[in-house]
Structure 1
Amino acid sequence: MEIDKAIKIFVDFLNSSWTIVYQLLLNRDYTSNEDSINDWLQANWELLVERKVLKVNEYLEVYGEGADYDGISSRITDSEALPNFKVIVKTKNGNSILDVLNNEQVRFENVTFNKIVGFKSGFYTLEPEFKYVLITDDNLELERVVAISDIEFELERL
């Protein structure tokens, strides 16, 4: 399966499961438990995306903040594995697209994929509806948020 299709299915998975799973990941006082949420996201990224698009002994870079499950690694399934692939974000047809976080049209030249996000009240959120991508513009060291519908995902070997 292509990475673009796998990530877009992962987005559907997040949108359909988030409300149910989020209740289980809260602290006992019903506050957000970021460590548990990041562990869950990383585990599902590894199992649902990484294993679907890569071969045995091939690994993606950590998703978002990664897991805090194992102190020596940000991975869940193989704590000693080092990434040998990364997700590349490209605009469709090389066109400029709207960065909704900074409210400007942008072209991608050197960006890093971070994670899938929602967007509300002018800022990205970790809640549905997940239909945006948080990236870092490495040229400007600036966070950007773009609509998934405007981009394509590709793999690059490290």
Structure 2
Amino acid sequence: MSLNELIRNFRCFLLSSWPQFVKVQKHLDWDENPYFFDIWLQANWELMVEFQALERDQYLTPYGYDNSAGCRHINKDKMATHRLVCKSSSNKNEESYFLCFSTKIGRGCQLSPPFDWVDVEGKVTGKRFSMPLKDVTFFLETIE
């Protein structure tokens, strides 16, 4: 699969597994497992995207807003060797770093279906914003 197919497949996985995830989270003790959602996302991101897109001993920045190596699930504390870069079809000159999928709700976003937006961080500005997934193409960038 191409990188873009892997990422869109991950979104499809989130959509199809969401009803089962909701059942599980209803029974969680959130005081004991406050990061369960983040761990679930990261573990599946590593298996479904990172392992397929990169070679052995190469790692993507973690899924979501915390890009520290400590939030990795399988290869705990391994430093990222690659980032996911997004380009929008409406502004091909601006590149942003992928953070996660989200859903637009009013003026804000939430992490729930239909996951049809991409939360990003501007490569130059560092500002965080959202773009419609339908307008985004993904690329890998090596971290130097």
> Does the TM-score normalized on the shorter chain lie above 0.5?
yes
TM-score per shorter chain, which class? 0.7 to 0.9
Are the aligned partners of 1:114 and 1:136 in contact in 2 as well (CA < 8 Å)? Answer: yes
The CA distance in 2 between the partners of 1:110 and 1:153, in whole Å, is 10
Name the structure 1 match of 2:76.
79
1:113 to 2:98 alignment: yes
Question: What TM-score do the two structures reach when normalised by structure 2?
Answer: 0.85
1:149 to 2:120 alignment: no
Where 1:130 maps in the other structure, the secondary structure is coil
Name the structure 1 match of 2:51.
51
Q: Map of 1:5-154 to 2, 5 A cutoff?
A: 5-26=5-26, 28=28, 35-66=35-66, 73-92=70-89, 95-96=90-91, 109-154=94-139
RMSD: 2.5
Q: Segments of 4+ in structure 1 off by > 3 A?
A: 26-31, 65-68, 138-141
1:25-49 Cα deviation digits (max 9, x unpaired): 3464789x65110000000000111
Q: Aligned partner of 2:71: which letter? A: S
Name the structure 2 match of 1:100.
none
Give the drift of 1:57.
Answer: 0.9
Evaluate the alpha carbon distance shift between residue 119 and residue 108 of structure 1 in structure 2; reply closer, same or farther with a 3 A threshold.
farther
1:46-83 Cα deviation digits (max 9, x unpaired): 01110111111111011103599xxx811000113211
The CA distance in 2 between the partners of 1:67 and 1:135, in whole Å, is 12
Question: What TM-score do the two structures reach when normalised by structure 1?
Answer: 0.78
Evaluate the alpha carbon distance shift between residue 122 and residue 27 of structure 1 in structure 2; reply closer, same or farther with a 3 A threshold.
farther
5+ residue gaps, structure 1: 97-106
1:74-106 Cα deviation digits (max 9, x unpaired): 1000113211111010123xx33xxxxxxxxxx
Percent identity reads: 26
5+ residue gaps, structure 2: none
